Structure 1
Amino acid sequence: MKRLLLTIVHVIFCLVAMAQYDGSIRGTVIDKNTKETLIGATVTLKNQSKTFKTSVSTGLDGSYVFRNVKPGKYEVEAKFVAYKDDDKEFELKAGEVKIISLQIESKSSDLDEVKISGKSDEGSDYKSRSIERKSDQVLNAVSARAIEISPDLTIANVTQRVSGVSIERSNNGEGQYAIIRGMDKRYNYTLVNGVKIPSPDNKNRYVPLDIFPADIVDRMEVYKSLTPNLEGDAIGGGINLVLKDAPDRLTIRANVAVGLAGSLFNQDYTQFDHSASAKSSPRSVNGNGYSATLADFPNNAFNYSTKKAPISTVFGVSIGGRSTDKKFGALAAVSYQNTYRGTSTVFYDTDVDRATNEPALKSVQARSYSIQQERTGLHAKLDYKFNKDHKIDLYASYMNLAQNQFRFQSDTTLNLGRVGMGTGRVSNTYRSSRIVQQIFSTNLHGEHELADHLDMNWSLVYAKADANEPDRASLNIVTGRTAILDAGGIKIGATQNPALFNSTGAAQSHVWAKNSDEDKTAYLNFIYKPKIADTKVEFSVGGMYRDKTRTSSYDDYSLRLSGSTTQVYDGNINNNTFMVQTVGGSPSDPLNYNFKEKVAAAYAQFKFTIGKLQTLGGVRYENTQQDWVTSANVNQTVGAIGSKKYDDLLPSLNFKYALGDKQNLRASYYSAISRPGFYELIPHTGGDPDADYQELGNPNLKRITSDNYDLRYEFFPKQLDQLLVGVFYKDIKNPIEYALVNQATSVFYTAANFGNASNYGFEVDFTKYISKFGFRANYTFTDSKITTTKTVLYRDAATTSLTQRNEDQTRPLQGQSKHIGNLSLLFKDAKSGIDAQVAAVYTGPRIYTVSPYLDNDIWQKGTITLDLSAEKKVSKNFSVYIKVNNLLNTPSELEIRRPYQVTASTINQDVANQTVGENVFVRKDEYKQFYLLGLRYKL
């Protein structure tokens, strides 16, 4: 044993001694022209006699390392796709650390300037960093590759990874709208290839971003400041989706995946038959004088069935290339996603105590959802270069999001007394709905050099967006539990009542809702680039004209029981008999309307660079003309017919100072507006089945205006590393927010202008890569202030009568979180083909609903979400990947920031989710995890 130990010690000593004589070689691979590091380049080390050879790939910072290399003469060689090889010979001494950097040259000449337009090579992280550095405005860019390896399936979820951006989720837990720097979705617009597109949303102007599958996008840009040549209705900012462009050589990419929602592991998925539902209402098909019959309302929507853990599927393919002379390019891409999810919700309908102004609970609702989403994206682009002076391109895109949703809601009235919780009237609602949203957009675009220093470009755009909800069908059931009392009136038990259709109310409701936006837009721009006093100056002038037509139709039908007695619902609707109660639909509802909007714009812009300072400025003029006609009775409904016209002059000025080759200091100012939504201006009542309160239109809304200031420092030390630090301030006039208002005995949720507001904050965005590891983090602090008048309800001490007074209250803007943060840990090894990341997002508390009563606003609680994705290359062309969303099962929760109190009506009662002394619980939505496993092919 002693001899064995001595031998082991001797061997270890010899190995250590030998290691001390081994050396190492390290360095970086750099683009010879741009001096940028190259990621994934292959570096090969071989000795002079060719008997030894080994290879590694450069890491995320362009570095490589060879360890434990014996002394001798060697050659190190670097290879990279589309680059010329480079090698160096050297001699390594014992124990030496040799630093060798290799500079390789691109086989093709580089562009002098990176333009913000779709380019085939701009799907990389490097191109996104270049665009951020060279752009004329403050923006953030996310590359196609970053999107591809992220945990996200839709563009809506991708936006939350950008500094200063949070998302508003739909009822299935997926992101739907972006909130930029605390500015609600109404303050932002969406562009496709730089052109604004209409929205299929029945309420909002701006596009629901969950309609875009992530894999058809070449790059996503988030604008945080505007220049005069951009449309001016983006106080918060804009999101530009650059769709895929034709590559220089034949390229084929495809992926297929299967997924499963964690919420459906232990919960059945409920589905219904929507095939027999009429696409249009009986009135729309047969005319206003038609009386609907039972034959117009088949029972197929109420024939429910369940299945266990349905499998979600994802498929995508793109193919494109250019002709041998590079003049003609073509690309086509298709993406299809079919996902299933289940969510659950608990919601307390709240009011305010008339004597204390404290929150009061009216009822509690339990909701469960089964949601299927079919998302289809089609994109095609053709371009032709006649010569170096003239080129033309045509692109068309089609997005479709079809959602089938079943919702069961149980609504319990909180009539709490001595008999306690768990008894009383319960209203159950079964609802089946199918909503199909579509966006079609086509753009014919040309670029021409008319003369030396004079260019022209133009675009003719036709786009149409629509949403159709055919036959949203609901069943309304009444049930409950009756208390069993002892002789002293104390509850000792309860009996379950049968499920009944109410003989006096609407047993069934059927709603048809349809809207469309049709845009016809023309753009024309001239750019003149003279040289004045040895300084290159760029003058741009141009204009835009858009003719928008929005139409909306709405019909609501009610069916009641036939006969005067109640009927038991046993789960089979075919066993019950009904009669049509509202036979004519809703021909006079204001949601039947036509809305015309014409926007004419012109701008003048200049740009020049003196020394290290680039200056860009100018002014934009926009004229807006709006006219609408509803089917409501003009004599009974204010605003049934309306018209608005206004002009806006929107100046802007942007400075960019180059502190060095890789550092910029930016300062910008721009003026912007935000127009009210069509749905908000129309004097409607109701219309949103998922609203917690009845909605009310407001034809008196004014447009919002704002002056916006930005200051940002940028540092790009390496190809992918960056440090962005910025501050911003917005002075907002007439902001629009939704609030609860009282009219007579009813409470409505309506949009209104609220005086003036300010919004300011700062952002830090940091990315660092070390060899195979990466660290990406951003943090945004935002603080906004708006002062509005609130009502205080109380009982007058002198008269003991119920009364009220008004007080001013300063609060944040609706939807604004004070703190937003992202943290991603990344790993990339080109040699093994592994690419992985863990991404966390923090969204701080924000106001969800503004209350008319002092200190009774409803807040969304802060959340931390954690997602994971990984990809492994298994061959030259194939890789497998996995995505997991919401690892922490983070719910969405609402509360009123007032302590829940025991009152005379709740004494000795155990109200679920409410804790005495803690904030009043309002709502909780649970989504659970979503898992996806896929295969990716690249040629």
Structure 2
Amino acid sequence: MFIYNAGYAQNTGKITGKITDQKSGESLIGATVLVQLNSKGASANVDGEYILTLPAGTYTLMVKYVGYQNKLISDVKVAAGKVTNLNVVLAESKSQTLNEVTIRATFKQESVNSLYAAQKNNAAVTDGITAETIKRSPDKSASEVLRRVSGATIQDNKFVVVRGLSDRYNNAMLDGTSLPSTEPNRKAFSFDIVPANLIDNIIINKTATPNLPGDFAGGAVQIVTKDIPDENFISINAGLGYNTNTTFKDFQSGYRNLSDYFGFDNGSRKLPSNFPSTATLTSTNGLSNQQSIAPLKSLNSNFNVYHLTAAPNQNYQLSAGLVKDIGKNGNRFGAIFALTYRNSLQTIQNGTIDYNVYQYNDTKYKFSTSVGALANFAYSYGKNRITFKNIYNRTFDDLYLYRTGYNESTSFPDNHFTAFDLVEKGLYKGTLQGDHGLAGNSKLTWVGSFSNFTNNQPDQRKTNYALKGNVYSADNGSVGKQNARYFADLNENIISGQADYSLPVNFFKQKATFKLGAASQYRDRSFTPRFIGPYINSSDPEALATSDLPLNQIFSKSVIDKGYYKLTEITSLKDAYTANTLTNAGYAMLDNKFGDKTRLVWGLRVEKFDLHLNDRDATTTETRLNDLNFLPSANFTYNITPKSNFRLSYSRTVARPELRELSETGYFDFELLATVIGSKTLKSTQIQNFDIRYELYPSAGQIISISGFYKNFNNAIEQTIDDQVSTPIISYFNVQRANNLGVEFELRKTLDFISPSLKNTTFYTNLALISSKVIDDNKSKLPNGSRPMVGQAPYVINMGLLQTAFNNKLSANVLYNRVGKRIFAAGIQYPSVYENPRDVLDVQLAYKVFKNKGEFKLNASDLLNQNTLFYYKESVATYSLAQGSILNRYKTGSTFTLSYSYTF
């Protein structure tokens, strides 16, 4: 198929693009594109898209639509075997007479006009990036692309933070429907699983419109993947990476299976299906020592620590696209496929924990594998389009931690702690969508989606040795959450559906668009953890002496056979839970134009949210949330000049607690030495949002803007840290109110105003200064009465410099990011934990070869390699913590990646 089309393309090329309204950006369904001096023509489909297949040459096109001025575009060049992209914007006819008015433009002029229109026509305050811009960057994934969007920062190379607000205040959407969280304990999506070259566009809405889900305050991140490619292609990419902490150095880990390299445990870590139940192990007498032998031997007994030389990081991607024209009516079928593979090793040495009674040094070794697949199909016929989009990703993170140091609260303070911790995550999302152009340029869109998310921890093993006399002895005389084997399975399904209808209407003698829609989402989750472990249940001196054995022998089958151990379980009835939510929503909105310069998009969204959560404790009541939210919004735009806008916006939104935050299950986080526990009493947060913005577009693709925003939170959910049982507890509670006031500045500008020689040099920056305040009259929850919001940074700085040369064959990109000091967990009687600012500097070089079909890329990430630091800031009379005591401090190293891609 590809060979045949390549031969055919030697004599012909294609012109494709989208036809939209100059003021609203709405697709003009059925608009026609005609070739002058030729009868060849095409009509725009339901998305306003058209395609023309023509012999190589230079053409003049006439674009027409009823009620709009005709546009004659000259100098449109078609190259053999190539695709020419030409987006067109049409202006409404100002005359009611039958005389046609024709506007003349060249190909270059119209390309600039369409880019201006796309930048200015968003109804809400938005920032985004298109496929054309992504092509000119060396980014591999959506997370890397998002770093270039104003107001967005990336944490851990995968999680997005908008306007400095924490995870819970952001929403992630893929192909029109909300994404499940990829993290079990927080509302966050790992954006690194979406390949950059398959993204059509990314938009971050910073203000709400009624057709968007109402659960965000920072931003709603919308990713749209490609469906029908412009042309057939096959693309391969391969890369190797070097980390200064890890590569070619000693690397330690637990046992490794071949399947681990493909993201799947082979079952050797899994709890056997015939393993004794929780009820059996927690019964009055439980199992005897002899009865414990068989189930203990069924568990994996390999506690060896293996040494190897760390290989370079690897990443590979194979993607392919197919497009076929069907018949002579412009019908098209398209498909895009992608496979991705990544494997990396990371060593973190000299990690520090130094607070209260703890003085520890950590060394961590993480083996990570990620595999992903994408398959999108689309069929466009007449004024209709049907798409079926699928994405799957699986991550495998296996951590080995070795900790040495002191816990002065114990009788034997000198400790050597070991943890083996594997986390497997899987995400599938399938979306079926139909877009239908109806009479009178009305449009109906329907979407159905299914998502499945799994997060499993098979056989997390934690063991501590304490110095007793002259020997380090294992703490195997009891079982606790710091000294046990942990198995957990989380499974979540999400089914959602949505229908939207838009209808052009006349309002105050002006064209307007009326939209209404309804959506429903059902979410179902089950979480089943088990804390199990053996302990010495004998006074026999030989049995007690087993604690002096090394780690790789203490739980061996030969020791278990002696019958010294008793198997027990410490799982609480509150640890496991099942939960489901049902969200039903409806909206109505009107997109009004008043004259040539003024636009108002306003309406109301109503969301009904029901949540049910149950644990296994019969003495506790069901956790329920039952909210009815009325969410009005209004976005006002005034076109001061053809190159500038003034915007005002108001919206009401909501932030709901995550399921894990409502569950009272206690999870011990050994990396933070803290227990994480939820609260059944959490309420949803109600948020009032106000925005003002001035934006100027000096040239196409360039912007200067300044924005102000104010947000008022009622019942804001805050993460707290406290210490009442000698182990810090991280939990959640609602504060009465909070507010957030900020100013945002964005600049993206070529530097040719300094010198014509800098026309290929682009400077871009976005800066945000934010002041937040939490207020609560309940002094037991907020001892000082007020403080900054948890997770809210006081400032965010993103800066970059992009240089292209040799007709865009060479590009160099320098990126700088800094996020201000912010609270990680707020103290009540305990001091608050802050995350320290760090300077992050990335450099990316790319060079295209073989007629731009091949490309070498060199990425240098986190060149400064500054400490990631979480520390206690304030002193509290109740505790003797010194200011600056360290909860966690570490360096991840700088990473250098060289990759090569080629497109056939």
Q: Do both share a fold (TM > 0.5)?
A: yes
Other-structure match for 2:392:
398
The aligned runs of 1:236-635 (5 Å cut-off) are 236-265=218-247, 267-275=249-257, 277-278=267-268, 280-282=270-272, 287-288=277-278, 293-300=295-302, 302-325=303-326, 326-344=331-349, 346-348=351-353, 350=355, 361-387=356-382, 389-414=383-408, 425-479=413-467, 497-506=470-479, 509-561=484-536, 563-570=543-550, 572-573=552-553, 577-578=559-560, 583=567, 585=569, 588-611=572-595, 612-632=597-617, 634-635=618-619
* AA at the equivalent of 1:631: R
Cα deviation per residue 1:654-690 (whole Å; 9 max; x = unaligned)? 1121122221111111110011011111121225443
Give the drift of 1:145: 5.7
- SS in structure 2 at match of 1:245: coil
Q: Which amino acid in structure 1 is aligned with residue 333 of structure 2?
A: F
**Cα displacement (A) at 1:397:** 0.9
Q: Per the alignment, do residues 741 and 126 of structure 1 end up closer, same or farther by CA in structure 2, a change over 3 Å counting? A: farther
Q: CA deviation at 1:220?
A: 2.4
Q: Which has the bigger relative contact order, CA under 8 A and spacing at least 6?
A: 1
- What amino acid sits opposite 2:712 in the alignment? D
User: Does 2:127 correspond to 1:162?
Assistant: no
* Cα contact 1:448–1:457 (8 A) shared by 2: yes
1:10-59 CA distance string (max 9 Å, x none): xxxxxxxxxxxxxxxxxxxxx9x99x9xxxxxxxxxxxxxxxxxxxxxxx
Instruction: Provide the C-alpha distance between the structure 2 equivalents of 1:789 and 1:582, rounded to a whole number of angstroms.
Output: 51
Q: Does structure 2 retain, via aligned residues, the 8 Å contact 1:83–1:104? A: no
Q: CA deviation at 1:244?
A: 2.7
Per the alignment, do residues 395 and 736 of structure 1 end up closer, same or farther by CA in structure 2, a change over 3 Å counting? Answer: same
Alignment check: 8 A CA contact 1:315 1:337 kept: yes
Alpha-carbon contact 2:354-2:886 (below 8 Å) kept: no
Please say if residues 247 and 311 of structure 2, whose CA atoms lie closer than 8 Å, have aligned partners that are also in contact.
no
SS where residue 401 of structure 2 aligns?
Answer: strand
Conservation of the 8 A alpha-carbon contact between 2:465 and 2:473: yes
Q: CA deviation at 1:527?
A: 1.2
| Residue among 818, 825, 842 paired with 1:849 | 825
Give the match for residue 30 of structure 2.
none
1:516–1:214 distance in 2 versus 1, CA, 3 Å: farther
Name which one, 1 or 2, has greater alpha-carbon Rg.
Answer: 1
> Compared with structure 1, are the counterparts of its residues 157 and 126 closer, same or farther at alpha carbon in structure 2 (3 Å cutoff)?
farther
Superposition deviation, residue 375 in structure 1: 1.8
Q: Secondary structure at the match of 2:413?
A: strand
Displacement of 1:82 in angstroms is: 9.4
Q: Which amino acid aligns with 1:134?
A: N
Mark the CA change 1:246 to 1:689 in structure 2 (over 3 Å): closer, same or farther.
farther
1:370 maps to amino acid: Y
State how far apart, in whole Å, the 1-side matches of 2:840 and 2:320 are. 35
Question: Residue 245 of structure 2: SS of its match in structure 1?
Answer: helix
Of 690, 712, 735, 1:731 maps to 712
Deviations 1:293-314, CA, capped at 9 Å, x for gaps = 21232123x2221222312111
Amino acid at match of 1:135: N
- Mapped to 2, the partners of 1:737 and 1:557 lie a distance apart of 32
Contact between 2:576 and 2:665, CA under 8 Å: does it hold in 1?
Answer: no
Give the 3 Å change call, closer, same or farther, for CA 149–694 of structure 1 in structure 2: farther
Aligned-pair distance for 1:573? 2.8
Alpha carbons of 1:427 and 1:178: their partners in 2 closer, same or farther (altered >3 Å)? same
Aligned equivalents of 2:208, 2:858: Cα separation in 1:
38
Counterpart amino acid of residue 149 in structure 2: V
- Deviation of 1:650 after TM superposition, in Å, equals 0.4
Gaps of 5+ in 2: 1-16, 23-54, 61-72, 79-83, 92-110, 258-265, 282-291, 538-542, 753-758
Does residue 669 of the first structure (1) align with residue 650 of the second (2)? yes
Report the counterpart of residue 686 of structure 1 in structure 2: 667
1:791 positional shift: 7.2
1:776 Cα deviation from its structure 2 partner: 1.2
CA change 1:341–1:145 in 2 (3 A) is farther
Deviation at 1:199, TM superposition (A): 2.0
Q: Which residue of 2 aligns with 1:886?
A: 862
Q: Show structure 1 runs of 5+ residues with no match.
A: 1-30, 37-80, 87-101, 115-123, 169-173, 351-360, 417-422, 483-496, 793-804, 907-913
Worse-superposed segment, 823-832 or 885-894: 823-832
Asked if the contact 1:525/1:543 (under 8 Å) is kept, the reply is yes
Work out the CA distance in 2 between the residues paired with 1:266 and 1:319. 34
Could you tell me which residue of structure 1 aligns to residue 899 of structure 2?
Answer: 934
Q: What's the secondary structure of 2:297's corresponding residue? A: helix
Whole-Å Cα distance in 2 between the matches of residues 543 and 900 of structure 1?
Answer: 51
CA gap of 1:754–1:255, structure 2 versus 1, over 3 A, is: same
Cα distance in 2 for partners of 1:740, 1:811 equals: 14
Q: Distance in 1 between matches of 2:581 and 2:385?
A: 32
Q: 1:791 to 1:137 in 2, by over 3 A?
A: closer
Deviation at 1:149, TM superposition (A): 6.2
CA distance in 1 between partners of 2:588 and 2:143 (Å)? 33
Q: Quick check: 1:823 aligned with 2:799?
A: yes
Query: What is the rounded CA distance, in whole Å, between the counterparts of 1:582 and 1:535 in structure 2?
Result: 80
Deviation at 1:196, TM superposition (A): 0.4
- Structure 2 distance, partners of 1:790, 1:366, is 38
Q: Which amino acid is 2:711 matched to?
A: K
TM-score, normalisation: structure 1: 0.76
Cα separation, 2, equivalents of 1:809 and 1:594: 36
| Distance in 2 separating the partners of 1:892 and 1:437 | 25
Q: CA deviation at 1:714?
A: 1.5
- Quick check: 1:897 aligned with 2:897? no
Residue 874 of structure 1: aligned partner:
849
3-state SS, counterpart of residue 712 of structure 1: strand
Counterpart for residue 96 of structure 2: none
Q: What's the counterpart of residue 816 of structure 2?
A: 840
Shift of residue 206, structure 1, vs aligned partner: 3.3
- Whether the 8 Å contact between 2:608 and 2:627 is mirrored in structure 1 is yes
TM-score, length-normalised on structure 2?
A: 0.79
Match of 1:800 in 2: none
Counterpart CA distance in 1 for 2:200 and 2:717 is: 34
Letter of the structure 2 residue corresponding to residue 133 of structure 1: K
Task: Spell out, residue by residue over 1:572-592, the C-alpha distance to the aligned partner (whole angstroms, 9 max, x if none).
Answer: 336853569674646643231
Note if contact 1:608-1:616 (Cα within 8 Å) is conserved in structure 2.
yes
Code of the aligned partner of 2:520? Y
For 1:184, the equivalent position in structure 2 comes to 166
CA RMSD between the two structures: 3.4
Preserved contact between residue 431 and residue 475 of structure 1 (Cα < 8 Å): yes
SS at match of 1:230: coil
- More off after superposition, 459-468 vs 405-414: 405-414
Distance 1:790 1:178 in 2: 32
Note closer, same or farther for the CA distance 1:382–1:220 as it changes in structure 2 (3 Å cut): same
SS of the residue 1:808 aligns to: coil
In the TM superposition, residue 177 of structure 1 has moved relative to its aligned partner by 2.4
- C-alpha distance 567-145 of structure 1, shift in aligned 2 (>3 A): farther
8 Å Cα contact 2:667-2:675 kept in structure 1: yes
Decide whether the 8 Å contact of 2:175 with 2:225 is kept in 1.
yes
Distance, in Å, in 1 between the alignment partners of 2:130 and 2:418 is 43
For this pair of structures, how many residues does the alignment match? 772
